[in-house]
Amino acid sequence: MMPRALDRRTNIRPAQGHEAEALSALALKAKASWGYAADTIELWKQDLSISTDAITSRPTFVAAVGDEIVDLIQNNTSSFVVLCGSSTQVLTGNDNADFSLDVLSGEAGAIPFTAQKIGAAMYLDNRGLRSITTTQAYGDFLLGTLTPQVQRFLHQKRAGGHSPVGSTIVRTKDHYRVFFSDMSGVSVYMGRKNPEPMLFSIDRVLSCICSIEDGDGTENVDGAGMFAKSG
């Protein structure tokens, strides 16, 4: 599937000095979405703030995609996948001379907090687990459904008012995992030709989770959250 090009002149432009307050608020909102306490966000406020001087003295650009952005994920060294509420878009280029924003799919967007990368960028939408791969031709992207088997599970969660609160990958086990607000989750094993989903439950509602590798290559999966109250 070839992406449908947008008018880059109206969608990617230099930031204006008067937008400093709005961009600072966006940076704070993005950091807060990970579940940090309000007092912690307040401590970081100065570091996350964008000043008018910074905008005018450094190359600063604004990308307007015409849709609510729910996640960003780097696809390769020169492209970002921009996952929106009702579309999937790809930002390519290295600077303002060749930035291009293209619509890969205008039919469906991603579910927030589900984007990860295991070889290819992947995320959940209402159809199941989706992937974005890059062909050898620069800028030619393919969008596919890895497994629709989780679709029924997603519908049940949505009907019950439960949504994803975080996701991670476990590299040593080839797992992609999504955690929901009712202390349940789905883990998809990616080590075979066909992905294999499995449901699980945990004893708390997560507010954030990540997978990192130490200098010696040891993987650590860390999460933080609140235990459920009984009664």
Band of pLDDT at residue 71, cut at 50, 70 and 90? confident
Residue 66 included in any domain: yes
Per-residue burial over 191-211, b = 16 or more CB atoms within 10 Å of its CB, e = otherwise: eeeebebeeeeeeebbbbbeb
Convert the pLDDT of each residue in 134-150 to its tens digit: 543 334 555 667 777 78
> What is the domain extent for residue 181?
4-226
Residue 89 tokens read as: 């878009």
Whether 228 has a pLDDT exceeding 60, the answer reads: no
The residues that bridge with 128 in the sheet, in sequence order, are 125
Residue 89 included in any domain: yes
Whether 207 has a pLDDT exceeding 80, the answer reads: no
Residue 110 tokens read as: 């991603």
pTM of the full structure: 0.70
Sign of CA dihedral 45, 29, 22, 105: positive
Instruction: Round the average pLDDT of the chain to a whole number and report it.
Output: 79
Residue 115 included in any domain: yes
Residue 135 tokens read as: 């062909």
Band of pLDDT at residue 226, cut at 50, 70 and 90? low
Residue 28 included in any domain: yes
Residue 231 included in any domain: no
Please tell me the total count of domains within the chain.
1
Convert the pLDDT of each residue in 99-120 to its tens digit: 787 888 887 788 888 988 887 7
Q: Are 14 and 113 in contact (CB under 8 A)?
A: no
Band of pLDDT at residue 98, cut at 50, 70 and 90? confident
Nearest to 202 by CA among 173, 178, 218, 171: 178
- Rg of the chain on CA atoms, in Å: 19
Q: Report the percentage of the chain scoring pLDDT > 70.
A: 84
